[in-house]
Structure 1
Amino acid sequence: MSDVPPTVPVLDHDEIHIWRARWSGGAGEIAFASLLTGYAGSGARPIERGEHGKPRFPPPFDTLGFNWSHSGDTAVLAVGRGPAGFEVGVDVETVRPRARALELAKRFFAPGETAMLEALPEAERLGGFLTLWTAKEAVLKAHGGGLSYGLHRVSFRLSALGAVPDRFDGDVGPASTWCVRPLDQGEGLVSAVAWRGHERSVRVFTFPL
C-alpha cells in the first residue's frame, strides 16, 4: 500500500463516501487515519470514543461522521457530513458457510425476519441472512448502541433492493428516518451503510495499494 495518502475528494452534505482498503498488518487503520485527517482537516481534535466505544470526532468537528468495518482482508470506511452529532454506520461480512444462520436468526432477529428467511429457498437463505445482518449492524453502529442494543429491535423487510427498514424500537426509531443502502463490494462480500436523515448519493473509492 502506498505511504502517500490519496487526495480526499470534496464531501458535501448530499453524499456518503465509501472507501475500501486492505486490512491486514494494520494497513486499513493506517489508510483510514490518513483519510479522516484529510476530511476533518489538520486542526481537528483527536478521535474520541462514545459511550459504547464508537469512534467519533469531538465538537465542533462532530459534523463529520465516520465508521469502519472489516472482514477477512477487506476493510470499509464510511464518511459523511451533517448537523452536529451526525453519524454513519457500515458493516461488511465475508460470504462463507454458516450452518447455524437460521438458528442465529431465531435467537437474535425479529420473528418476522426469521419467517422471511425460512420462506426463502435454501440456496438464497445465507444471502438473505447476511443482507439482514449487515443492515442491522450498520444501523446499530450509526446509532452507537452496537449489538448490545438488540438486533431484534431494528427490523427489516427483504426486497430486491436489499433490506428495507420496517420497525425500529426505542430511541433508534422510527425506521422511516433512516436510509440503509447495500454496497457492492464484489463477489464473496455483503455490505451495507446506514445513516439517519435525508437521501444521499453514495460514492465508492478504493485506497491505492
Structure 2
Amino acid sequence: MSDAPPPVPALGHDEIHVWRTPWSGGAGEVAFASLLAAYAGAGSPSIERGEHGKPRFPPPFDTLGFNWSHSGDVAVLAAGRGPEGFEVGVDVETVRPRARALELSKRFFASDETAMLEALPDVERLPGFLSLWTAKEAVLKAHGGGLSYGLHRVSFSLSAGVVMPAHFEGDVGPASGWRIQPLSLGEGLVSSVAWRGHERRVRVFTFPL
C-alpha cells in the first residue's frame, strides 16, 4: 500500500474546501493529515499546535490554513489558502435535545443573543442556538483563542435562522472583516465555517474511510 497522500482538488485563493468523514477512534484525524499533506505538497511539514491547541503548519507552509471538528461519528476539515498566517475555523454539532440551551446562552452568549433566542418559537430555539454556537466556535477557532477567548465577545444577529456578524471585541474584531457560512452536511448536523477576508466559494467533499 502506498503512503503517498491522496489526490485533492486544486485549492485556489477564492475557495474554502470542507471535507466530511466518519470519526471513529481518531481515524478522521489520520485522514485529515493525509489530505493536508496533499494540499501542502512536496516537503509537507508535521502539523504543529498553537498556544490554545489549534493545528497549523509552520512557515512557509502557513499560507494553507486549516481546522477540524467532530461531533458524534462525524468529522469535518476546512482548508483554505491566503496570505502568511491565513486561518480558517470550522465547527460541527450533532442535533440532539438540549434542555439547557437557554441556560447556556445566558451563561456564555451576549445578552442580545439570549434575548433573540427567548423570542423564538420553541421549535426554532434549538436550531437557532446551534447556529449561533457553531458560528461562534468557527470564528474563535480561526482566531486561535478558542473558547477561552469568550463566546460572548463574538456576537451575532439571528434572523430567519441566518446568523450575521454583529460585534466582535478585542483583536478578533472587527466583525465586518469576517465571513461565516453555514454548511449543509445533512439532517441531524449543524455546522459553520469562518475566515477573515473576502468572500469565497465553499465546496464540500466526502472522504470515505
TM-score by length of 1: 0.96
Contact 1:5 1:31 in 2 (8 A): no
2:26 is paired with a residue of what secondary structure? helix
* Count of equivalent residues: 207
Residue 33 of structure 2 aligns with an amino acid whose one-letter code is A
Alignment match, 2:51: 51
- The gaps in structure 2 that reach 5 residues or longer are none
1:45 deviation in Å? 1.8
Alignment match, 1:112: 112
Whole-angstrom CA distance in 2 between matches of 1:99 and 1:200:
36
- The gaps in structure 1 that reach 5 residues or longer are none
**Mean Cα deviation higher: 23-32 or 163-172:** 23-32
**Mean Cα deviation higher: 151-160 or 193-202:** 151-160
Alignment match, 1:102: 102
Residue 87 of structure 1 aligns with an amino acid whose one-letter code is E
Contact 1:17 1:204 in 2 (8 A): yes
Residue 165 of structure 1 aligns with an amino acid whose one-letter code is P
Whole-angstrom CA distance in 2 between matches of 1:5 and 1:122:
47
**Per-residue deviation, residues 59-80 of structure 1 (Å, max 9, x unmatched):** 0000000000000000000000
2:44 is paired with a residue of what secondary structure? coil
Whole-angstrom CA distance in 2 between matches of 1:68 and 1:98:
23
Residue 205 of structure 1 aligns with an amino acid whose one-letter code is F
Whole-angstrom CA distance in 1 between matches of 2:179 and 2:96:
27
**Per-residue deviation, residues 127-176 of structure 1 (Å, max 9, x unmatched):** 00000000000000000000000000000011236210000000000000
Contact 1:45 1:57 in 2 (8 A): yes
1:46 deviation in Å? 1.2
Whole-angstrom CA distance in 1 between matches of 2:103 and 2:161:
25
Whole-angstrom CA distance in 1 between matches of 2:201 and 2:45:
28
1:126 deviation in Å? 0.4
Alignment match, 1:157: 157
Whole-angstrom CA distance in 1 between matches of 2:125 and 2:77:
27
Alignment of 1:46-195 (within 5 A): 46-160=46-160, 162-195=162-195
Contact 2:62 2:86 in 1 (8 A): yes
Root-mean-square deviation (CA, aligned residues, Å) is 1.3
TM-score by length of 2: 0.96
Whole-angstrom CA distance in 1 between matches of 2:160 and 2:200:
20
User: Percent of aligned positions with the same letter in both sequences?
Assistant: 81
**Mean Cα deviation higher: 88-97 or 37-46:** 37-46
Residue 189 of structure 2 aligns with an amino acid whose one-letter code is L
